[in-house]
Amino acid sequence: MLDMEVVWNLQYWLKMSSPSKRREMDVMKLMMSDYNVETINDGLNEFNVKFHGPKESLYEGGVWKIRVELPDAYPFKSPSIGFVNKIFHPNVDELSGSVCLDVINQSWSPMFDLLNIFEVFLPQLLLYPNPSDPLNGDAASLMMKDRKQYDQKVKEYCERYAKKEDITKSAADKETDDEDDITDEDTGSSDDEIAGHADP
């Protein structure tokens, strides 16, 4: 019988033997763990992952498409992670979806893998937002000033942007939907108004 330390060292050596093998192994491990992974351009450097909000959080029930880009030096260099559909969170840029997460941006280690991101790092980010290091200043400010209103806005975003059908729509479709949501009341016009004035 093999000693567990020997097994761990062997697994570590296999993981680290080549960045391309490690990339393949990590992506396959993610796929085998029941995550829905869609590759982009038939490669393993860019892909989207379907991510569910953690249980017992404001984001529970929400579904997001997470864009992952692996650099050539992965796992020695951290992946780029971003939300494709909108989320209201102090540490996620509302427009780009970029994530401000110390463990990914500054303290990444080759010992981490893609499963760590989806099973630990992202759930922790959603469970414990850090308003003192924001990418979304509005979310951070609201969270610190009025927690009840912040919680309500998070839930509204989940309802509006984080449903299963939202991750299957293209970005262009979603922008069209957002434009359609603007009502006459919002624009201050009505069907009764005339577009111009008739010449006398």
Which residues are catalytically annotated?
Answer: 100
Helix axes 147-161, 137-145, angle to 10 degrees: 140
Give the DSSP letter of residue 42: T
CA dist 38 → 42, 101, 194 (Å): 9, 23, 49
Q: For residues 120 and 123, give the distance between their C-alpha atoms in angstroms, rounded to a whole number.
A: 6
Q: For residues 124 and 118, give the distance between their C-alpha atoms in angstroms, rounded to a whole number.
A: 10
